[in-house]
A and B are shown apart, each in its own frame.
Chain A
Amino acid sequence: MSLAAVLIGLFVLTYGALAVIASRRPLLARLAYREAVRRPLQSALVVLGLMIGSASIVSLQVFTDSQIATGVETANVAWGRVDLVVDANGRLFGSDVAQRLGADPQLAGSMAGAQNGMELIASVGDLDQRLGKPAVRVIGFDPATQRAFGAYALVDGTTTYGDDLPTRSVLLSRQLADALKAHKGDRLHIAANAGAPGPGADLLVAGIARQQGPGASGLRPAVFIPLATAQALLGTDQINIIRIAASGDDQVEVDHAAALTAQLRTKVSSDLVVRAAKADEVASVRRNLENNRGFTVIISLFIVLAGTALVVNLMLGLAEERRPRWAVVRALGLTRTGLVQLAVLEGAVYSLAAAVIGAIPGFAFAWLLTMWFASSMRDTYGGTLNAQDMVVRVSALPDTVLASIAAASLITLATLFLTSLRASGLSISSAIKNLPEPAARSRRPSRFSWTLLLFALGGALMFVPGNSTVNRYLAGLVLMIAAFILLRGLLSVRMGAGLLGAGVTAWSVGTLASASVETARSNIGAFILFFTLIGAVFGLCILLTANLRILETLAGLLGRQRGRLMATLRPPLAYLSRRPVRSGLGMGAFAVVLGMLGAYNVFGFVFAGNAVRDTAGYDVAAFSAGTSSITVPSDLQSQMTQETLVTTRTYYGQLNMHQAGQETGWAPTYVSLYELTDAQLSDPPVRLTQRDPRFNTDRELFTAMRNDPSLIVANNFFQPVALSLVGRDGPLTFKVVGQWAPGPLFGILGSQAAFAPFSQVPPGSTLLIKTAPGVDPQGFALALRRELFSTGVDADTTLHLVYLRGAPGRGFLDYVVSVTRIGLIVGVASLGLLVLRALIERRRVIGLLRALGYAPRQVLAGMLGEAVLTATAGIIVGVAAGTGLGYVYVRIAYSATTLGIDWPATLVSVAGVYAAVLLVAFVPALRASRLAPSEALRLVD
Chain B
Amino acid sequence: MRQPTDGSIVQARRLRKVYRGANEVEALRGIDLEVERGEMVAIVGPSGSGKTTLLNCLSGLDSFDGGQVVVDGQDLSTMSDRARTAYRSKNMGFVFQAFNLLPVLSAVENVEIPLLLQNLNSRDSRRRSLEMLETLGLAHRANHRPDQLSGGEQQRVAVARALVHKPAVVWADEPTGNLDTEVTQVIVELLVRMNKDGQTIVLVTHNPQVAERARRTVRMRDGRIETVARELAGVV
Contact = CB atoms under 8 A, between A and B. Distances in A.
Interface residues on A, range: 35 or more
Interface string A402-445: 00000000000000000000000000000001111111000000
A927 to B, nearest CB: 15
Contact of B113 (A567, A579, A933): A567
Given A851-B88, A853-B88, A934-B61, A438 B147 contact: yes
4 closest A-B pairs by beta carbon, nearest first, are A853-B89, A559-B122, A567-B116, A436-B147
Contacts of A287: none
Nearest to B161: A852
Given A566-B122, A852-B89, A855-B86, A575 B104 contact: yes
Contacts of B178: 433, 435
Interface in A541-568: 556, 559-564, 566-567
Contact of B109 (A574, A851, A853): A574
A472 interface: no
B47 interface: no
B125 interface: yes
A938 B105 CA distance: 22
B114 to A, nearest CB: 6
Interface of B: 52, 56, 59, 61-63, 81-82, 85-86, 88-90, 92, 94, 96, 98-105, 109, 113-123, 125, 145-148, 151, 154, 161, 178
B105 A563 contact: no
Given A853-B90, A933-B61, A434 B104 contact: no
Contacts of B96: 848, 937
B111 to A, nearest CB: 11
Given A556-B122, A563-B120, A564-B117, A574 B147 contact: no
A433 B180 CA distance: 13
A564 B117 CA distance: 5
Given A852-B113, A855-B85, A937 B100 contact: yes
Given A439-B148, A848-B94, 17 more contacts: A436-B101, A556-B122, A559-B125, A562-B119, A563-B117, A570-B109, A571-B102, A844-B100, A848-B100, A851-B59, A851-B61, A851-B88, A852-B88, A853-B89, A853-B117, A856-B81, A933-B61
B172 to A, nearest CB: 12
A852 B228 CA distance: 29
A855 B121 CA distance: 18
A570 B118 contact: no
Nearest to A438: B147
A854 interface: yes
Contact of A433 (B59, B98, B116, B148): B98
B151 A435 contact: yes
Main secondary structure of the interface of A (DSSP, over half): helix
A856 B109 CA distance: 21
A851 B121 CA distance: 21
A845 B141 CA distance: 22
Given A433-B98, A439-B148, A574-B102, A566 B116 contact: yes
A435 B119 CA distance: 30
25 contacts: A433-B98, A436-B146, A437-B147, A559-B122, A562-B119, A563-B119, A563-B121, A566-B125, A570-B116, A571-B105, A574-B104, A575-B104, A845-B100, A845-B102, A850-B85, A851-B88, A852-B88, A853-B114, A855-B82, A855-B86, A856-B81, A856-B82, A933-B61, A937-B61, A937-B100
A564, A566, A849, A850: residue with the most chain B Cβ atoms closer than 10 Å: A566
A849 B103 CA distance: 12
A115 to B, nearest CB: 80
A24 to B, nearest CB: 36
Contacts of A571: 102, 104-105
A184 interface: no
A94 B234 CA distance: 124
B147 A439 contact: yes
Nearest to B173: A937
Nearest to A569: B116
A215 B83 CA distance: 80
Given A559-B116, A855-B82, A855-B86, A848 B56 contact: no
Interface string A829-847: 0000000000000001100
Nearest to A857: B82
A34 interface: no
A570 B147 contact: no
B145 to A, nearest CB: 8
A438, A575, A849, A853: residue with the most chain B Cβ atoms closer than 10 Å: A853
A562 B92 CA distance: 21
B74 to A, nearest CB: 14
B94 A852 contact: yes
Given A560-B121, A571-B102, A579-B104, A852 B114 contact: yes
A335 to B, nearest CB: 24
B94 A934 contact: no
Interface in A514-561: 556, 559-561
Contacts of B109: 570, 574
A851 B101 CA distance: 12
A932 interface: yes
Given A433-B98, A852-B113, A932-B62, A578 B104 contact: yes
Contacts of A570: 105, 109, 113, 116
Nearest to A561: B121
A417 B102 CA distance: 29
B96 to A, nearest CB: 7
A183 B185 CA distance: 104
Contact of B94 (A435, A562, A851): A851
Contacts of A435: 98-99, 146, 151, 154, 178
Contacts of B52: 938
Contacts of A853: 85-86, 88-90, 92, 114, 117
Contacts of A579: 104
Nearest to A940: B98
A850 B86 CA distance: 10
Contacts of A567: 113, 116-117
B104 A563 contact: no
Nearest to B56: A934
Contacts of B121: 559-563
A563 B100 contact: no
B52, B63, B121, B178: residue with the most chain A Cβ atoms closer than 10 Å: B121
Given A434-B98, A844-B100, A848-B96, A563 B122 contact: yes
B128 to A, nearest CB: 11
Contacts of B120: 563
Contacts of A566: 116, 122, 125
Contacts of B82: 855-856
A178 B178 CA distance: 84
Contacts of B114: 852-853
Contacts of A560: 121-123
Contacts of B94: 848, 851-852
B27 to A, nearest CB: 11
Nearest to A578: B104
B105 A564 contact: no
A320 to B, nearest CB: 10
B98, B115, B148: residue with the most chain A Cβ atoms closer than 10 Å: B98
A559, A560, A849: residue with the most chain B Cβ atoms closer than 10 Å: A559
Nearest to B63: A932
Nearest to A844: B100
